[in-house]
Chains A and B, each alone.
Chain A
Amino acid sequence: MTEPTDRKRTSRRRFLAGVAGAAAAVAAKPALAEDAKNLPPNVADWTRALGDGVGTRPYGHPSKFENQVVRRTVPWLTATPESSVAFTPLHELDGIITPNGLCFERHHSGIAEIDPNDYRLMLHGLVDKPLIFTLEDLKRMPRANRIHFLECAANTGMEWRGAQLNGCQYTHGMVHCVQYTGVPLKVLLAQAGVKANAKWILAEGGDAAAMTRSVPLPKALDDCIVAYRMNGEMLRPEQGYPVRLVVPGWEGNLWVKWLRRIKVGDKPWYTREETAKYTDLMENGKARKFTFEMDAKSVITSPSPQAPLRQKGFTVISGLAWSGRGKIARVDVSLDGGRNWRAARIDGPAFDKACVRFYSELDWNGEPLLLQSRAMDDTGYVQPSKDALRKIRGVNSIYHNNGIQTWALKPSGELENVEVG
């Protein structure tokens, strides 16, 4: 994504401090309004009257009472909404699957609207037979179904220098997890016949950014998918309709949307997106390149700053964990800022390179707590603290911030994004 330089960030902070100083960050929701006429012993309105008939909602939408469950943007983050991001409302979701309309969106030149009749995928370069596929062609090919998370490399990127955004939608909302249906890339490549000296592929989007990334051939032949469906239906335009590349476990920028071309080559291309962007600047001024895997990461989604506690007593801590290196093996939760940990319960499936849902029970007596979660994957990688990451990388790397998140729970039930030391 397009990140501000710190100089700009500082001036923006000053500006915002002046303009919005009085506004609360994210206020706790007011107590739910009840209408006694619908409550026992009275008979509710909806128990007496007929509702809408079938067919009045040909494509079903969430209840009108759920209209706060939407993607949100941070307007000051980028120069223009066509090259920006809208975040997944993680605090409003449970389970492991993200509903299609809520999957975070990050575009570089807006949403391409592609007529499926005019869709073509070109496959060329170091191949025996350069080929062009229509969408119908792709749908006739053997297909695979895989559940994978997709995380933008810049997720949590605004937090390197300290707690900045107050809500997991903003700190962690550049991740989603859906089931993809599509053609394994190795099957497509075999149709063209990859030459012996091939080592990389170039994936190119059909949008006005023609987003382009180099992917090592072994990954392309391993588990990449040329996907056209998400959660059963065709991809949403924001997710690359009609076709995107799925690169399991690797940074989201590689998952080229509106995929129009795959070129096979013997070297990486060093495109702008894998040099000027999506490289990780270290403290010594040198930058890591091709940092593909997304390391194990987790976040407590509820309670969190946008999902405060409304009462004392029993409640469930709920969160998401994922790893680009394999399966999540375990998640621990701390109530005291990382001094003591207890294992959380993973409920539901734990697939390779997919989100898992974890729960931990809490009897809250109103005391302040420092909530954290810590993910471990089946390679033995343990999610590090933010300070442990900073010690190695400094604070200028923007990307791949998978440090442990802390939410301060206050006696009022409100929560805040804080840094601990």
Chain B
Amino acid sequence: MSKWGSLCVIALLALATPALAQKKELPRQYGIGHAATPAQIAGWDIDVRPDGEGALPGQGSVKAGEKVYMDKCAACHGEFGESAGRWPQLAQGKGTLASADPVKTVGSYYPYLSSVFDYIRRAMPFGDAQSLSNDELYAVTAYVLNLNDIVDDNFVLSKQTWSSVKMPNEGGFYDDDRETTEKTFWNAKPCMEDCRGPVKITGHAAVLDVTPDEKTQKRNGVE
């Protein structure tokens, strides 16, 4: 092959390579970022799944949990999980989900043990997040389960007993079905004229009068 010919081949190869890469649509490797070490990952990898993946070493009894709860939780959530003021209620509410006044608690609404355990682990106590020891975390979770009559007074929560906990509302959820149950909202030709009978006002926000007053708000346009 002539020198000119081989140069052409090289040029074609050079053109062909990025074109092929584009076809597969794989973003290239930029060599940016560092390998995450197992120790670094262990410090941040705090999530726990329903199947117990991510559950920690350690254990905690309902009894030990009562002390943690009274020290660190009861001021907001109430001694029996009934809530103090506007803070979330943790217990009771069973049988209310289909009523006019649903009370969503760990016992009445949460589908999985991990949903409450993982949340306490990452976000509680409010204002002192990720401060509980593994044993305190297991214990206080066991106590909240006990407040909801999900485990008995002698229960000890650990990785080993994890799968024995069955949450009452596990079957209470289903996947988004709006595209079938709300299919009527897709309508290529919505009505434009005389679409309904006479219109009556049936409710007034001003009657409730819960809108914050202008005078109660800060009026500073700059932060």
Contacts and interface: CB of A to CB of B under 8 A. Distances in A.
Contacts of B181: 392
B210 A61 contact: no
B221 A276 contact: no
8 contacts: A61-B221, A101-B223, A123-B36, A164-B208, A271-B47, A340-B195, A341-B193, A418-B202
Contacts of B89: 5
B196 to A, nearest CB: 6
Interface stretch (A33-41, A63-71, A239-247, A312-320): A63-71
Given A208-B127, A275-B173, A288-B175, 16 more contacts: A2-B88, A5-B102, A25-B209, A67-B220, A73-B212, A75-B212, A76-B210, A163-B203, A190-B29, A269-B118, A276-B104, A279-B173, A291-B178, A341-B191, A382-B185, A388-B184
Interface string B128-147: 01100000000000000000
Interface in B152-209: 172-178, 181-182, 184-188, 190-196, 199-206, 208-209
Given A166-B211, A420-B200, A286 B205 contact: no
Contacts of B126: 80, 82-83, 109
B71 interface: no
A212 interface: yes
Interface stretch (B2-10, B59-67, B105-113): B105-113
B47 A204 contact: yes
Given A132-B34, A341-B190, A288 B176 contact: yes
A21 B213 CA distance: 12
Contact of A25 (B34, B97, B106, B205): B205
B148 interface: no
A137 interface: yes
B91 to A, nearest CB: 13
A-B CB proximity, top 8 nearest: A285-B98, A337-B199, A419-B203, A67-B221, A272-B119, A79-B86, A285-B97, A417-B205
Interface of A: 2, 4-8, 12-13, 16-17, 20-21, 23-27, 61-62, 64, 66-70, 72-76, 78-80, 82-83, 101, 108-109, 122-124, 129-133, 137, 140-142, 162-167, 170, 184, 186-187, 190-191, 202, 204, 208-210, 212, 260-261, 263, 265, 267, 269-272, 275-276, 279, 281, 283-293, 295, 305, 332, 336-342, 370, 374, 376, 379-384, 388, 392, 396, 408, 416-421
Contacts of A6: 100-101
Contact of A20 (B104, B130, B202, B213): B213
A370 B199 contact: yes
Given A141-B32, A170-B211, A392-B181, A276 B110 contact: yes
B17 interface: no
A341 B212 CA distance: 32
Interface in B17-44: 26-30, 32-36, 40-41, 44
B218 A287 contact: no
B41 A130 contact: yes
B209 A209 contact: no
Among A212, A260, A287, A417, residue most surrounded by chain B Cβ atoms (within 10 Å)? A287
B209 A288 contact: no
A379 B98 CA distance: 33
Nearest to A79: B86
Contacts of B186: 379-382
Nearest to A187: B27
Contact of B49 (A191, A269, A291, A292): A269
A209 B118 CA distance: 11
A270 B112 contact: yes
B213 A26 contact: yes
Interface of B: 26-30, 32-36, 40-41, 44-47, 49-51, 76, 85-89, 97-104, 106, 109-112, 114-116, 118-119, 122-123, 126-127, 129-130, 172-178, 181-182, 184-188, 190-196, 199-206, 208-214, 216-223
Contacts of A25: 205-206, 209, 211, 213
B33 A191 contact: yes
Contacts of B49: 265, 267, 269-270
A342 B192 contact: yes
B171 to A, nearest CB: 8
Contacts of A70: 217-221
A210 B129 contact: yes
Contacts of B122: 204, 209-210, 212
A164 B178 contact: no
Contacts of B206: 25, 166, 416-417
Nearest to A236: B223
Contact of A190 (B27, B35, B188, B196): B27
Given A17-B209, A292-B176, A124 B203 contact: no
B202 A286 contact: no
A122 B44 contact: yes
Contacts of A417: 204-206
B86 A74 contact: no
A184 B178 CA distance: 28
Contacts of B221: 61-62, 64, 66-70
Contact of A416 (B106, B130, B204, B212): B204
Given A20-B209, A70-B221, A382 B187 contact: yes
A2 B104 CA distance: 12
Contacts of A162: 202-203
B219 A388 contact: no
B199 A26 contact: no
